Structure 1
Amino acid sequence: MSSDNVKDRLTQRPEDVSMDSKASNLANRFEGLDIQEPSEAFLQAPNATIPIPTDGKPEVDYEAERPHDFQEAYFAFDLLLQDLRNMQTVITRTWEGYRLGMFDLVSASLMTNCAIDFARHMEEEIQQLLNEHGGPINILSQIYAALCVLNGEDAEFREQPGDPLNFRTYNIAESLFLPTFVLLSSFSPLVEKRNLVPYKAGYFGTHDRASDRSQKSARDRFLEDKQVLLEVLPEFLYLHRTVPSPEPHEDEITRGLRKMFDTHEIPLWLVFACQIFLDIHHGLRDNVQKGFADLTNSAKAIENSIRLNLDFHSNLRIGNWPKQNDRAFKALLEFIAFWVDSDFSQPVKERLKVWRSSESFKLMKWHPLLCGIWTYNLKARYQDLAVVFQGAWGSIMYSAHLYNALRKEKLLARQWIDMDLVLSWHDEIFVGDPPSQPADYLKRFSLSMGYSAASFARNRRQTAKLPESKTGPKGIQPVAHVSRMFFDRYCEGSGQIGFSESDLEKILGGPIAENDKEDEHEEGIISMQRNSTTSKRKTPVKKHSRQLTIVELLETLRNTLRGEAPELTFDYLELHRICWRMLRLVREACDPHLRKIYGVEYLEDETQLPFVVGYIFMAVMGTDQLGKALAQKDDVVKSNLLMSAARVVEGLIYPLGGSLVVQLLAKQGY
């Protein structure tokens, strides 16, 4: 249909059509009909009878299928466009905040990736309806043409030969993501099976990232996007050819482009995703490589700590952490070496002579979102390993018990900042509130070591050995609970999308179900269902759930992830090494007193260092297990034990030794 016909259809009024023309048209339809009278035999024939089934029911039940009309499809599509624009706005603000230091790379990237997930899910929900009318891109084109007509423009008009669209209507096209679709559709046909699309940097010109985009004309804005997108798309293709299968740590833009390369299909959600890619460039401008810098800094910090730890424990082993367990750390180092320290696509580029030294790491430098997902993968896996490792040694937990006792006894003048931060995150260290009375120090310590609470019952029969707890020694658990919701997906490749109701409770910081408690056992998944009475989509749709717009959910998720950033980044291996050195010094300082009480062989080797804290508590408290030997010792010995331990800890945290891990956080921007 031409634009003139569209315009006529949209502007013609019913009263403009004369009654004469209507009558003439009606008469013309019956010209040539030959009307014959029915015969007498036909008129006298008996009425026909319809056979009735024996069961009294019709044999066939026919129901006419009413196809969805375009109005219904348009309404659903308009809601989708509204959601996409709203998500685009919050994403743009988030990356602007990242540039200014308000948000970290991980929180911006995870939120953005979730938004693209939502876009895909929302499109898939109405895909069948849209396909009945030519698909989302076809409907988008029709809307664009109609809007051009309403603004007195022709969608097919071109100011210059070769123009991809009417630049006088560029703002309308941008609001519908059409320029990005034009760029994708120009690149997709170039991709064939196993081929690459060598691209010479600057073929379409180079743009000044420091320039003010808001001052550019529509043509120049389109040219800038063309220069960015068509220059980086070959880099995505190199990744696809180098590593054919998607990796868990990939973002949704990369996954969507992989599918486009294989199928040449360009769904609307992928157009939206690539528009987000361009928006990130628009917002960061000459800071676009900041994402790659943050990734490399995080990787370097993790790599250095792992190597220091492997060296620290080269000759120090325990049964809970045999040498083969170090393979997990080495696998993480190999990941860093392949994905971060080297350009994984370089071998392909060199073999096909499309590589230049100035273009190395180009995809990562131009794709901050991908860098953010990789950074999350590294931090989450490293935290997982570090927490398990220190738990096997017991270093942080038992040092925390000693530090708490010294603080409660007012033997320390300064705070151990690193340990205070850990205590604020891990209530499980003391199996309840921190003990504040001398009688509770040993009890809580023993519970953490895995001895049963029945050991401390008043009527318990005293034996030489404390009964062990069925659950074994306690350990600290990984924190950053909302951030860890993404662990299975981005670290283990589960492919999970969407949020369960329990996930929403974590994001919102509390239960979202305030009534209908009997339904709490059900897991409510976010559904992007539309409400026909409103243009705003609410999620989730369970009747007892708190209602959120998609933008509110994304903003809450982003802010929560930002608040958890120090928890996700905290270096537990560094604190483990600090605590282990402290326990060595505490044993050395307290050894003369402990020998007097327990004899020269109270510790078999260094792997039992955490037991020093238990021996100190037992001596100070004069427990039954020590028997008469301890009862005969004077209080001077007990006091000297605590004072000696306090001098060691005080020396550790003065002047800056107590905040070494916090300083590492500060170097990474926290």
Structure 2
Amino acid sequence: MLPSSLISVDQEYKKYTDSVASWLASTAKRCGYPADLLTPVNSQPKADEKPKAKARKRGKRKGKVPAPAARETGEKHIIAINDFIPLAEFIFSTKKPLILVPDSFSKTIDRVIAVRSSFGTQLSEHGMETAPDSDLKHFYFVGILEKVREVLRPRMSTKTMPTSSDSPEMMTTRFSGLQVYEPSQEFLDAPNIERPEKSTEDMVTYEAELQNRFEDAIMAFAMMLDDLDKIRSRIKWIWSNYRDGFSELATAAVATNTALDLARNLMEDVLPIFKDHGGALDVCKKLFFMIAHEREGCSLDETLAWFNGATQHDFYEIADETYLNAGRLIESFAKVLSPQNIPIYKEGMLGVYDPESNRDVKTGHEKFTEDNIILTEFFPEAVALARLVPDYPVEDEFIRGIKELDQTQEVSFPLVFATQAVLDIHHILRSRAKGVVSALIQEVSAIGNMIDGHFKYHQNLESPDWPESNENMLRRFRESITWFTRDPVYVAKKKFSRKSDIGEPREKYRLLGYSPILAGLALYHFRAGMFELGIAISNAWGSITYTAHLYNAVQQERLLKDLWVDMEVVLTNLGDSTFFVGRRPRNTSEYLKRFSLQMGTSASVVTNSRPRAPNRIQRLQDVSSRAGPRWIKGAAPVSSLFMEIYLRKGGQVDWTPEHVDNIISRSQNEVESTKEDGTLILAQIDDPERLKQKRRAHQETAKKRRRNISDGGRLSPSELVKSLALSMQAEALEFTFPYMDLHRWCWGILRIVKTHCDAVLRTSFGPTYLENESQLPFVVGYIFRLADGANVRKDVTALRMAAEVIADMIAVGTGEFLVGMMEKTSGFGIDFQEEE
């Protein structure tokens, strides 16, 4: 089921239909309508039954009949379609009180009638009746609704006559060519249509009876396609941005798989309707035949001939719009899928896929052949993963669908949609698709090397905040990198081939080459693990945080000529509030106070200005506050949402209304400008006040455009995915930065600073001011105490010595080493400019 915070066209249509039923039932009940005359839930008429004449006379009964006792809050009652007219007649016949129909009801029923009529008209024109006596040709439900409107018309306001934009004629025009309900955003926003509310004293929830005739199935399918088309367009937008260098792989993959997951949830609400009509693929085929007939004037035989290779007509684009191409291919693979063996593809069996060729000039048959080759080569790899490598680190919606297919032998429509997404991505990337693998393996290998460097550096370094269990976790993560880079699918296929006496696989990483989504999710997996461990290590030693305090102090004192680019990137990405309590300190007194608060040291102790003898000075490590140190936390809030899924293989993201709103409003970035090609340029908002203003503006806009998510308004899945992609892309540098390496650089700097300043610090604070290397960050606090003259004679010598160490590091180019490394391994080109 689609999360409550999101909305689809089908859901919104159902809300309108339920609103009609709810107002009729609750209003009639308030007027004394006997509840026992409502069709019981467990004895609803079948979909092909017509209303009995007796039922039409129910509303003639005059006088009030006491309603049954109030039901408990939350009870649900299904209002049978057969009851709509009797309820309307009873409401009309009631004189005390005289019921005036609200404008919201009039507009809602007009809209439902318009939508239903447009579908029914086209179905009738194309001869899609399922039986000679089908209710379809009588527009059964439309007739019921029109009769209800006719009965209640005298009680309606004259100003609620259908507008030109809502008239059946206009709606039919909008459905021309079965371009499914183009104004669906009107359904989602509905700025001028307020749905009618049931009586406030009625605690029962009313819903309209589910209709399951073919007309209802084809209409539901068409509405579902409208939602899916918007999600599909968003996926294409994501990968076009990736192809053109405006997005990175992990962001594109997570946003895409989120879109596919939302699409699957959306479909789950609709798919049961298709069961009595052969399933979603059968309904898909019928819709395809209808559109082919309308656009091309072709007969059923001609369209069937195209399926078998006839070239007289070209229906590829229509089959693409209805997802029939992907459905046919997956269906054909499913028919030959053996439960014992992994499918084997012989190279060139169907031809050779040439990604360098121009797809735009190909015929429909040539395009279909190309799709067939891509999927036929990819399908065996996906089955091998599903069957042979259960502990693969990530799973996308296509692999999930393949696993379900393997278990049920049924092709699900979510798998069809995921298959189409795979094809679309290949159509967009073309020859760039296989370049994804080299970029992935290069970055994952670099992460492994980073961990190796950590082990070597920390051979003799221990911290009470980094227990052996954490070190073991890091070792396991390193082992998983080694396992992954050897290609576990390739290894498993080799073992299987030896047992089955079939040819060994010839190419490593073949699976990832055919699935940029899976490759991107794997990249996210290892980035997320490194991000989490890098932040944890930095917090355990305090290396980055307290070196940042030292760097800020020497900058404020104008003791540096150049920027430490690596540190500036981290300060900019994570924000000043991560490192400093309040604003950045600007003088010696603030350096010490803010350091003390960040370190968790009692500021009242260290800021006593009366000098003391060295042997009587309290050590910083002995006066910690109960609150403890303030660590780096809350970094990359949007990107971190997916750690449970793609790092720990846990559950799905819970898309609550508040959660969706946070995805948008918590992003600390804004659209700075929009290029003509649609490229969005993001700029980070560093000013807290400006950020607050941006969020307030977002909230106001949200209230006007979608009634504010937290107050019940909802987003379409496509809109959420767009916001997610932009937010993750804006966080990509923050999420990918090598914090573990920066920790080592910072720790090395602190070591050198301690060595250079040791004589001065010993003179002022005694020989035991530090007892072991794990206390090294406290050297920054002692330097600040000297510079401020807290408990000691004021002396800035140590601060100047520390500045010389940082300046020397910057001078030899080490200050931007990590930024350069990121550009080589991850492709992040960072242009860092100092503000004037």
TM over 0.5, shorter chain? yes
Give the CA deviation at 1:498. Answer: 5.1
Alignment counterpart, residue 88 of structure 1, candidates 229, 232, 255 = 232
Task: Tell me the alpha carbon deviations over residues 265-305 of structure 1, each in whole angstroms, 9 at most, x when there is no partner.
Answer: 11222111101101111111111112212211220221111
**What letter is aligned with 1:508?**
I
Q: What residue in structure 2 maps to residue 587 of structure 1?
A: 754
Q: What residue in structure 2 maps to residue 653 of structure 1?
A: 810
Q: Give the match's secondary structure for 1:250.
A: coil
Give the CA deviation at 1:359. Answer: 2.3
**Residue pair 1:485, 1:503 contacting (<8 A) in 2 also:** no
Alignment counterpart, residue 480 of structure 1, candidates 636, 656, 662 = 636
Q: Which has the greater radius of gyration?
A: 1
Task: Tell me the alpha carbon deviations over residues 409-442 of structure 1, each in whole angstroms, 9 at most, x when there is no partner.
Answer: 1111111111122222142211221111211211
Q: What residue in structure 2 maps to residue 288 of structure 1?
A: 433
Give the unaligned 5+ runs of structure 2.
Answer: 1-120, 128-206, 668-704, 829-836
Tell me whether 1:220 sits opposite 2:370 in the alignment.
Answer: no
Q: What residue in structure 1 maps to residue 185 of structure 2?
A: none
Matches within 5 A, 1:145-164: 145-150=289-294, 151-157=296-302, 162-163=308-309
Tell me whether 1:564 sits opposite 2:737 in the alignment.
Answer: no
Alignment counterpart, residue 790 of structure 2, candidates 623, 633, 652 = 623
**Residue pair 2:657, 2:714 contacting (<8 A) in 1 also:** no
**Residue pair 1:384, 1:478 contacting (<8 A) in 2 also:** no
User: CA 1:506–1:654 in structure 2 vs 1: closer, same or farther (change >3 Å)?
Assistant: farther
Matches within 5 A, 1:244-283: 244=390, 247=392, 249-283=394-428
Tell me whether 1:449 sits opposite 2:599 in the alignment.
Answer: yes
User: CA 1:610–1:666 in structure 2 vs 1: closer, same or farther (change >3 Å)?
Assistant: same
Task: Tell me the alpha carbon deviations over residues 343-383 of structure 1, each in whole angstroms, 9 at most, x when there is no partner.
Answer: 43333334235454632221011111100000001001111
Alignment counterpart, residue 639 of structure 1, candidates 796, 801, 808 = 796
**Structure-2 separation of matches of 1:381 and 1:539:** 36
Provide the aligned C-alpha RMSD in A: 3.0
**Residue pair 2:396, 2:518 contacting (<8 A) in 1 also:** yes
Give the CA deviation at 1:85. Answer: 1.5
**Structure-2 separation of matches of 1:66 and 1:584:** 72
TM-score when normalising by structure 2: 0.65
User: CA 1:338–1:93 in structure 2 vs 1: closer, same or farther (change >3 Å)?
Assistant: same
**Structure-2 separation of matches of 1:541 and 1:448:** 37
User: CA 1:282–1:406 in structure 2 vs 1: closer, same or farther (change >3 Å)?
Assistant: same
Alignment counterpart, residue 550 of structure 2, candidates 402, 413, 417 = 402
**What letter is aligned with 2:769?**
Y
Tell me whether 1:384 sits opposite 2:528 in the alignment.
Answer: no
Task: Tell me the alpha carbon deviations over residues 564-611 of structure 1, each in whole angstroms, 9 at most, x when there is no partner.
Answer: 110111001111111111111111111121122223333223222111
**What letter is aligned with 1:490?**
Y
Tell me whether 1:501 sits opposite 2:657 in the alignment.
Answer: yes
Give the CA deviation at 1:92. Answer: 1.6
Give the unaligned 5+ runs of structure 1.
Answer: 1-5, 13-62, 512-537, 625-629
**Residue pair 2:658, 2:709 contacting (<8 A) in 1 also:** no
**Structure-2 separation of matches of 1:592 and 1:467:** 23
**Residue pair 1:111, 1:557 contacting (<8 A) in 2 also:** yes
Matches within 5 A, 1:102-501: 102-150=246-294, 151-157=296-302, 162-163=308-309, 168-244=314-390, 247=392, 249-349=394-494, 350-351=497-498, 352-356=500-504, 358-424=506-572, 425-426=574-575, 427-452=577-602, 455=605, 464=618, 467-477=623-633, 479-497=635-653, 499-501=655-657
**What letter is aligned with 1:588?**
T
Tell me whether 1:669 sits opposite 2:827 in the alignment.
Answer: yes
**Structure-2 separation of matches of 1:369 and 1:8:** 38
Q: Give the match's secondary structure for 1:415.
A: coil
Q: Give the match's secondary structure for 1:586.
A: helix
User: CA 1:510–1:387 in structure 2 vs 1: closer, same or farther (change >3 Å)?
Assistant: closer
**Residue pair 2:123, 2:215 contacting (<8 A) in 1 also:** no
Give the CA deviation at 1:160. Answer: 7.7
User: CA 1:447–1:66 in structure 2 vs 1: closer, same or farther (change >3 Å)?
Assistant: closer
Q: Give the match's secondary structure for 1:468.
A: coil
User: CA 1:602–1:299 in structure 2 vs 1: closer, same or farther (change >3 Å)?
Assistant: same
**Residue pair 1:107, 1:558 contacting (<8 A) in 2 also:** yes
User: CA 1:469–1:353 in structure 2 vs 1: closer, same or farther (change >3 Å)?
Assistant: farther
Matches within 5 A, 1:539-558: 544=711, 547-558=714-725
Identity of aligned residues (%): 33
Q: What residue in structure 1 maps to residue 11 of structure 2?
A: none
Give the CA deviation at 1:404. Answer: 1.2
**What letter is aligned with 1:296?**
I
**Structure-2 separation of matches of 1:387 and 1:478:** 10
**Structure-1 separation of matches of 2:251 and 2:307:** 44
**Structure-1 separation of matches of 2:502 and 2:726:** 42
Give the CA deviation at 1:341. Answer: 3.1
Q: Give the match's secondary structure for 2:316.
A: helix
**Residue pair 1:194, 1:241 contacting (<8 A) in 2 also:** no
**Structure-2 separation of matches of 1:579 and 1:406:** 15
Residue range with higher mean Cα deviation, 647-656 or 560-569: 647-656
**Structure-2 separation of matches of 1:585 and 1:64:** 75
**What letter is aligned with 1:90?**
R
**Residue pair 1:291, 1:369 contacting (<8 A) in 2 also:** no
Alignment counterpart, residue 576 of structure 1, candidates 743, 760, 773 = 743
**What letter is aligned with 1:301?**
A
User: CA 1:498–1:72 in structure 2 vs 1: closer, same or farther (change >3 Å)?
Assistant: farther
Q: Give the match's secondary structure for 1:168.
A: coil
Task: Tell me the alpha carbon deviations over residues 61-84 of structure 1, each in whole angstroms, 9 at most, x when there is no partner.
Answer: xx9977433333333221210121
**What letter is aligned with 2:809?**
L
